[in-house]
Amino acid sequence: MVDVDKLIKTIVTPLVDDKDEISISHQESDRFNEYHLHLSKDDVGRIIGKHGHVIQTIRTLVYSIPVDGKKIRLVVDDSED
């Protein structure tokens, strides 16, 4: 079984400046396992990337993992929310 939290942190950590601000929270529904990635406000743009290319690549990797027969969603939040 793949640890999705660990995978997300492994991918995101080299891309951000404030590594201590990385945290992940979960919400689960009947159809989805939703992972909320919390970052410092300054690092959100780095993860989204130009035209959303970086976050789309991360989501492609994470979404390919089957978890309990549910789809995965990855949402990027900044610390000020």
33 lies in some domain = no
Residue 77 binned pLDDT confidence (cut-offs 50, 70, 90): confident
Q: What's the domain range around 17?
A: 1-22+42-75
pLDDT of 81 strictly over 90: no
**Separation of alpha carbons 71 and 69, rounded Å:** 7
71 lies in some domain = yes
Q: Are 78 and 40 in contact (CB under 8 A)?
A: yes
30 lies in some domain = no
**Separation of alpha carbons 75 and 45, rounded Å:** 13
Dump pLDDT digits (tens) for 10-68: 999 999 999 999 999 999 888 889 999 999 999 999 999 999 999 999 999 999 887 77
13 lies in some domain = yes
pTM of the predicted structure, to 2 decimals:
0.85
68 lies in some domain = yes
70 lies in some domain = yes
